[in-house]
Amino acid sequence: MKGQVTFINLIAIAVTLIVYMAILPVINSFIDTTVSDLLLSPNQYTTVLVAMLYLVPFLLLLMIILSGLNMAIPRREGFGGAYP
């Protein structure tokens, strides 16, 4: 079995990566602003929130890559359908 990535899927992943790279500076500025506001009045969850906020760009990229890999997984015909 071979993967089933079509040309349209490759274009969609490429466009998604371009949009991600374009939006990444905006996301980082929001994260930096939020972190600085959180550090002004810290509580017991501040360090966890800051760590989660800094993980957001990486997790978005990971989701894009995993979506591309999911499109490349070969599918068996006749299995998992609604009809027996």
Query: Does 82 fall in a domain?
Result: no
How far is 71 from 65, CA to CA, in rounded Å? 10
Query: Does 83 fall in a domain?
Result: no
Query: Does 78 fall in a domain?
Result: no
Given the structure tokens 């360090």, which residue do they identify? 47
Check whether 14 has a pLDDT greater than 80. Answer: yes
Where in the sequence is the domain holding 66, given as residue range(s)?
Answer: 7-72
Query: Does 81 fall in a domain?
Result: no
Query: Does 1 fall in a domain?
Result: no
Higher-pLDDT residue of 26, 84: 26
Q: Is 8 exposed, middle or buried (0-12, 13-18, 19+ CB in 10 A)?
A: exposed
- The number of domains in the chain is 1
Characterise 42 by phi-psi region: left (phi > 0), alpha (psi -120 to 50), beta (else): beta
Confidence of residue 1 (pLDDT cuts 50, 70, 90): low
Its pTM stands at 0.79
